[in-house]
Amino acid sequence: MFSIVQYYLSSFMICILISLMAKALQEFGYSRDEFLKMQIFDLHVNSELEKSLEVLEKMKTTDKTTVKTIFKRKDGAVFSAEASPCKISLEGFSFIHVHLQNITPEVGNT
């Protein structure tokens, strides 16, 4: 049985995840259906796949880390990002949430 606090916490987390999903769809250029069928490795440029595997292995023994990497969009454009994976446990279910911060310098700004 869920307590009222657990229910509201779960509902709040779901709202946050939906909002984050919308931001990710906008950044990467995929539809929701396309994005849900993908794995994290599908979003990396080939030269970053080994680094991504190393981070995934590291997350088995730590709760959070930060790494700079390169991602690719649906249109083939790439961007640099600081990725901060964080292990989250909620009601017996664990997952890794990754916060991405685009750190690609904007063209024309000095």
pLDDT one-digit tens code per residue, 61-83: 999 999 999 999 999 999 999 99
Return the structure tokens found at 75. 């249109």
C-alpha dist (Å) from residue 99 to 2, 5, 64 = 28, 25, 11
Domains for the chain: give ranges and CATH numbers.
4-102 (3.30.450.20)
Structure tokens at 68: 């700079």
pLDDT 10s digits, 29-62? 999 889 888 888 899 999 999 999 999 899 999 9
Structure token pair of residue 30: 């995929």
